[in-house]
Amino acid sequence: MKIKILTFLTCLLITVGSFAQYNFSSSEPSGFATATEASQMADQIVKAVGLKANFQVAEAQVSNALAVLHQGKRYILYNRNFIDALTKVTGTKWAAISVLAHEIGHHLYNKTPRYGTPTLSTELEADEFSGYVLEKMGATLQEAEAAMKMLATNYATRTHPAKNDRLNSIALGWKNAGGVDTEEEEDEQPEYSQPERQSIIPRENIAATLFFNASPNNTYYVTKRLNVIQVSNQQVTMIGHLSRSNSRDYPYIISDNNGYRLYIDNSGRILNADGKTVGTIKTDEDS
């Protein structure tokens, strides 16, 4: 177990830079730095399908992203923190682009409600548009689906369809745009078509699972971008980052934004600064 944990984490730290395989310059993908950048990306989205924007893009205090009609004008509002977190957790900026494309789909199809909430059918229509335009922009099906795999629930709600239906709509749009499915993507299909106990985090994005003694009922992961996240009530919160240390006894460190540190020893135990064991780390290699 000791060797497996050390080998896995070491390989992950060495190769993490190679995950930036998308057509973006940053090795650590982030969301839209400014509203201007978001607007420029929106322009690329509509140009990819030969249309013109009939809306304005603005950063706002909304929970995620929203297409709205206000005083006769169309807007796409987005929460920058949400977009940044989604991009980092999925490891690809295509996730942020797909969210933006989805909201743009509502406007271009003129299906943005003046009051109330959109119907399930309009959500699927916007999902299909998102898949279509992302293929035109060069995204793989996996990249086009990255955000939805993370955000959608396995069951339908009053406002949004179930994950499987939404992924099917994205895939339909992507294939209608000329995308060709691959064996890898076909192999992934059962993963989201079956109910999952755990989470809104796709398995392919998880590097390790963390277990904390003081929080046994919560779920914690290390992603392949080395972010430490908590999943609770279908919400993802980034709480820290995994890094390599110079210590032979404690080769890995978990740090949060406030500078608080936990230490991982060679056996996979997680310890605090006082040397007390507070949890463990486990990878699929340890099963």
pLDDT at 79 over 70: yes
Co-location of 140 and 38 in the same domain:
yes
Question: What residue spans of the chain are helical by DSSP H?
Answer: 2-15, 35-48, 80-90, 94-108, 120-136, 141-151, 163-176, 183-193
Query: What tens digit of pLDDT does each residue of 47-64 get?
Result: 998 888 889 999 999 888
Co-location of 239 and 264 in the same domain:
yes
Q: Which pLDDT band holds residue 112 (cuts at 50, 70, 90)?
A: low
Domain end call among 138, 161, 193: 193
pLDDT at 10 over 70: no
pLDDT at 196: 40
Give burial (CB, 10 Å; 0-12/13-18/19+) of 80: middle
Query: What tens digit of pLDDT does each residue of 198-256 get?
Result: 445 677 778 889 999 988 888 899 887 788 888 877 677 788 888 888 888 899 999 88
Q: How far apart are CA 190 and CA 172, in angstroms?
A: 17
* Secondary structure of residue 47 in the 3-state scheme: helix
Query: Is residue 1 a part of any domain in this protein?
Result: no
What is the full DSSP assignment across 167-184? HHHHHHHHHHTT----HH
Query: Is residue 247 a part of any domain in this protein?
Result: yes
Co-location of 70 and 42 in the same domain:
yes
Q: Please give the distance of CA 182 from its chain centroid, rounded to a whole number.
A: 21
| Residue 231 dihedral angles phi and psi, to the nearest 5° | -115, 120
Q: Which residue has the higher pLDDT, 161 or 234?
A: 161
Co-location of 68 and 153 in the same domain:
yes
Please give the share of the chain, as a percent, with pLDDT higher than 70. Answer: 76
Q: Which pLDDT band holds residue 110 (cuts at 50, 70, 90)?
A: low
Q: What is the mean pLDDT of the chain?
A: 79
pLDDT at 197 over 90: no
List the structure tokens of 64.
């995620």
Co-location of 125 and 260 in the same domain:
no
pLDDT at 25 over 50: no
Query: Which residues make Cβ contacts (< 8 Å) with residue 286, sequence separation at least 6?
Result: 1, 4, 5, 268
Query: Is residue 23 a part of any domain in this protein?
Result: no
Query: Is residue 75 a part of any domain in this protein?
Result: yes
Q: 53-58: long-range contacts (C-beta < 8 A, 24 or more apart)?
A: 53/104, 54/107, 54/108, 55/104, 55/107, 57/100
Query: Is residue 50 a part of any domain in this protein?
Result: yes
pLDDT at 111: 56
Question: What residue spans of 152-263 are helical by DSSP H?
Answer: 163-176, 183-193
Q: How many helices (H) and strands (E) does the chain have?
A: 8, 11
Co-location of 159 and 272 in the same domain:
no
How many structural domains does the chain have? 2
Domain end call among 151, 167, 193: 193
Q: Please give the distance of CA 129 from its chain centroid, rounded to a whole number.
A: 19
pLDDT at 18: 31
For residue 62, what is the DSSP state? -
Please give the share of the chain, as a percent, with pLDDT higher than 90. Answer: 36
| Residue 194 dihedral angles phi and psi, to the nearest 5° | -105, 145
Co-location of 133 and 240 in the same domain:
no
Q: Which pLDDT band holds residue 32 (cuts at 50, 70, 90)?
A: confident
Co-location of 174 and 39 in the same domain:
yes
Averaged pLDDT for residues 251-279 = 89
Range of the domain at 103: 31-193
The CATH number linked to 280 is 2.40.128
